[in-house]
Structure 1
Amino acid sequence: MAPISLRSSHTLDEPKLEALVELMYLAAYADGVFGAEEKRHFARSVQSLTDRKVLPDQLEQLITRLDAARKASGTAALLEGARQTLGSPGACRAALSLAIGVITADGAISNAERAMIHEIGTALGLDREGIEEMVREAEGG
């Protein structure tokens, strides 16, 4: 089976798109459940980032691949790889925003999800105050 290409006409290159998708995936599993609303938001975000080139069966394959990578490498290694790939503070902030969007898709942020937001944000080099500001904005405050 050929790998799923995340190439799009967006200005981000494929490794950066993959890092964004990986971070959204990690966020979706923060509380151990990939709920229906989170999965729909994740799918819409992936579709948007890839100009709608990822078909539903490819999305399932992508999720399977990301789950295997998480289990094989661990969350910390994936986060470090994403930070190196994204590089700039602006790209890291955008990545955290996308991750928060997946987490808040079901209308609530659990303690585990809040911890994952901070783990992702810290790994991406963002300060605690900036992370909290992004969470407040996502919560509508």
Structure 2
Amino acid sequence: MLADRSGPPGPAMILAVAYALGARDAADRVAAVDAFLTLPAHAGPVGAALGDLCSDGTVKLNRVAAALTGVHQAGAVWQLLAAAILPLLATTPRGLPDLLELATHVATALDIRADLPHLADLARRPGNTRLLREARRLQAALS
């Protein structure tokens, strides 16, 4: 209901939507997706808030990835994903491979060409973990 209010959203609204995208209850995450879809011009700030909330474990990234899949299916904007991923590359929390996989699908579908700081460094690391594989896939899609 807050997202339907008139006027631009403030920092509290941005944070509330970001936090709700990682809510425990799936119905709350669906409501958060609906709220986000009313704020498309604020995708970057919502993404940045998501990155901050997930990088320290305040919000569980696997729940956010599930919610963002719904946003992607509804026509998500790349800015949200890019802004969320940036702070997460430094902390590599659990669930980051899911978000990188979603970002790869979105980048491919929208033919996005971009440079995400630190993604190339992560993609160059030796090993074959899912995190590294998804980082390589995203890096390839963005190149």
- Both structures adopt the same fold (TM-score exceeding 0.5): no
Q: Tell me the TM-score normalised to structure 1 length.
A: 0.39
Could you say which structure has the greater relative contact order, defined with CA pairs below 8 angstroms and 6 or more residues apart?
Answer: 1
Task: With the length of structure 2 as denominator, give the TM-score of the two structures.
Answer: 0.39
